[in-house]
Amino acid sequence: KRLMGRKFSDAEVKKSQNMVSYTISAGKDNLAVVEVDGKKYTPQEISAKILQKAKADAEAYLGGSIDKAVITVPAYFNDAQRQATKQAGEIAGLKVERIINEPTAAALAYGLEKKKVETIAVYDLGGGTFDISVLELGDNVYEVKATNGNTHLGGDDFDQKIIDYLTDEFKKENGIDLKADKQALQRVKDAAEKAKIELSSSKETEINQPFITQSKDGQPLHLTMKLTRAKLEDLVDDLIQATMKPVKDCLKDAKKTPEDIDAVILVGGQTRMPKVQAVVKDYFGQEPNKSVNPDEVVAIGAAIQAGVLMGDVTDVLLLDVTPLTLGIETLGSVSTPLIERNTTIPSSKSQVFSTAADNQTSVEINVLQGERPMAADNKSLGRFILDGIPPAPRGIPQIEVTFDIDANGILNVTAKDKATNKEQKITIKGSTGLSDEEVKNMTAEAEKHAEEDKLKKEQVEARNQADTLIFTAEKTLKDAGDKVKKDDREAVEVKIKALKDILESGSKDELEAKTKDLSEAIQKVGAAMYEAKKEEPQPAGDKKEDKKEEKKADVQEGEVVEE
């Protein structure tokens, strides 16, 4: 998610490289890609695999095919990230009907059927991103007043603080850097996340990773450490405080004070942390509203939006905003805004510009997104050229530039020479680095691999089932000893060997057939042992026990008997 629409050279990507156990490298157009088993995948392809799994699960549950989707994104996603998300949906075989901001989706779920007019803040701290939105809602009208955030701040950063602490302490004690060993680092990462979750409900937890590595002389080393909630809160305090600047900026843009907020909705798994809740409570002066599940509320909101688009949910009006200012580069490398941040979408804005030199016959339009006054400090979404302008003194030609942003927050730009009516129009797509043909190819590849992945999964499940049955059969024979007839034992042993022989190389059908054979043989042994046990004479009972049983037999329901 953090890599969607990002260049490999972006500072955020460089930061991510130090946090993950897989390789991030430069792909086409210097876009960030990940390497898995020697193959490079774009973030869109990885995201598409997740969407395919969600699609398959939903189809299995609903009993029908799904070809359309509403996808949520962090509110502070820029145009390139939104385009990349849309492409991920297309690669997964879905028509993306709408891209909706996560805090807005949460507000939809919270506010449905509420008649009272409220101003709410949605504080969304997820695994990789942070968003804050202020909305006014009532009578099923949802109006986003402002949004802000940080697309590189989330639970992963909290995990990283714990990882750094654990690896530093281990290095001090043993002189070995666990970060240099990708397998060990992944184990530390898993342990850090588990500890963080446990410390949301307990004051202390123990991290125990045996045989994490070995010393220089080959002795096994273990990672064993206690972590308290107080220590965790100290480690991540700067991250929690870092969420407050976007919160303050968002309220300022919405022209609201903390006292104007009627309810604060917490979204995202990281908001389960007591310290996060305490900081939010302290700033807004009220307990955050916990009536919604922070992990589910966004998906519920997306489902409501899908219902609106399909006509199943009526009378719901959603007025979302664009999170960042959109403009073009003008003379002196200045960024001139056309659509300001927090403008309600869809929106269209036109402005007339002119040439910077005499007899200039073409102009290059550099489309920018961001809040900085200089073009170089903002993100360039794309460039295009309008040519065929009649030669004239500088400042005379009139070039009308129109920005049109749709309900998904995706931008179309048109430049038109008013003298000739010559027009150049683009949808900002280049920033994702994928052409329509590449998206089409990736879609076909994903469909092909979906069947492969299904077969691989079935193969693994068949192998696991066979392996488990081999273990059970061997244990049964060992425990039974001489209680199993020689013929029955030999029959089971033959079938165990037959299954072992194909365990690694056998097809799914072969494994299932041999597993069935062994299962039937072991059931036969079990039945024979059961019959033999029934035929054994029962030992004489203890007289004292017999008396006790007689006494119990005489007891009537409702009586209390002292023994």
Using the predicted structure, report yes or no on whether residue 471 has a pLDDT greater than 80.
yes
Residues 193-240: tens digit of each pLDDT? 999 999 999 999 999 999 999 888 888 899 999 999 999 999 999 999
Q: What is the CATH number of the domain that holds 387?
A: 2.60.34.10
161 with 231, same domain: the answer is yes
Domain assignment present for residue 24? The answer is no
Residue 351 within a domain: yes
Q: Are residues 312 and 335 in the same domain?
A: no
Give the residue from 224, 239, 254 where a domain finishes. Answer: 239
Q: In what order do the strands lie in the sheet with 39-41?
A: 23-26, 32-36, 39-41
Asked whether residue 36 is domain-assigned, the answer is no
- Assess whether pLDDT exceeds 50 at residue 559: no
Taken in order 471, 472, 473, 475, the sign of the CA dihedral is positive
Is residue 262 domain-shared with residue 139, that is, in the same domain? yes
Q: Which residue has the higher pLDDT, 444 or 411?
A: 411
Residue 336 has pLDDT above 50, yes or no: yes
In a domain, 13, yes or no: no
How far is 30 from 315, CA to CA, in rounded Å?
45
CB 289 within 8 A of CB 271: no
- How far is 310 from 505, CA to CA, in rounded Å? 49
Q: How many domains does the chain have?
A: 4
Q: Is residue 562 part of a domain?
A: no
What is the span of the domain harbouring residue 349? 326-432
For residue 548, what pLDDT band results from cuts at 50, 70 and 90? very low
Q: Is the pLDDT of residue 473 over 70?
A: yes
**Closest Cα partner for 403 from 483, 457, 460, 340?**
340
What is the SS3 assignment for 505? coil
Residues 401-433 have pLDDT tens digits of 999 988 888 888 999 999 888 888 776 654 555
User: Which single residue is written with the structure tokens 């589910």?
Assistant: 296
User: Stretch 529-555: mean pLDDT, rounded?
Assistant: 54
Q: Same structural domain for residues 378 and 411?
A: yes
Same domain, 267 and 145: yes
Is the pLDDT at 188 greater than 90? The verdict is yes
**Can you give the CATH number for the domain in which 192 is found?**
3.90.640.10
Q: Which residue has the tokens 């500890």?
A: 195
Question: Is there a single domain that holds both residue 74 and residue 200?
Answer: no
Q: In the prediction, which pLDDT does 439 show?
A: 59
Both structure tokens of 344: 């309600």
Distances in whole angstroms, Cα of residue 250 to Cα of each of 53, 84, 131, 372, 385: 35, 26, 10, 17, 36
CATH number of the domain within which 266 lies: 3.30.420.40
Q: Is residue 3 part of a domain?
A: no
Average pLDDT over residues 118-146: 91
**Cα(14)–Cα(8) distance, rounded to whole angstroms?**
7
- Tell me, yes or no, whether 16 lies in a domain: no
Residues 138, 113: Cα–Cα separation, whole Å: 8
CA 154 remoteness from chain centre: 11
Q: Are 355 and 390 in contact (CB under 8 A)?
A: no
Read off the pLDDT of each residue in 347-375 and give the average, rounded to a whole number: 89
Establish if 23 belongs to a structural domain. no
Pick from 131-145, 423-437, 440-454, 544-558: least confident = 544-558
Q: Which of 206, 239, 272 is the last residue of a domain?
A: 239
Pair 415, 477 in one domain: no
Q: What average pLDDT score do residues 70-89 get? A: 90
How far apart, in whole angstroms, are the C-alpha atoms of residue 185 and residue 65?
40
Statement to judge: residues 148 and 248 lie in one domain: yes
Tokens at residue 444, please?
């076909």
Q: Look at the pTM and tell me if it is higher than 0.85.
A: no
Evaluate if residue 434 carries a pLDDT over 80: no
Residues 139 and 261 occupy one common structural domain: yes
Instruction: Give the pLDDT score at 547.
Output: 46
- Residue 446 and residue 368 share a domain: no
Choosing from 182, 204, 239, the residue where a domain stops is 239
Assess whether pLDDT exceeds 60 at residue 495.
yes
| Whether residue 402 is found in the same domain as residue 419 | yes
CATH code, 474: 1.20.1270.10
pLDDT value for 536: 61
pLDDT digits (tens, 9 = 90+) for 26-60: 888 888 999 988 889 999 999 999 999 999 999 99
Contact yes or no for 390/354 (Cβ under 8 A): no
Pair (351, 468) in one structural domain: no
- At 192, the pLDDT band (50, 70, 90 cuts) reads very high
CB 19 within 8 A of CB 161: no
For 187-205, the DSSP string reads HHHHHHHHHHHHTTT-SEE
Mean pLDDT of the chain: 86
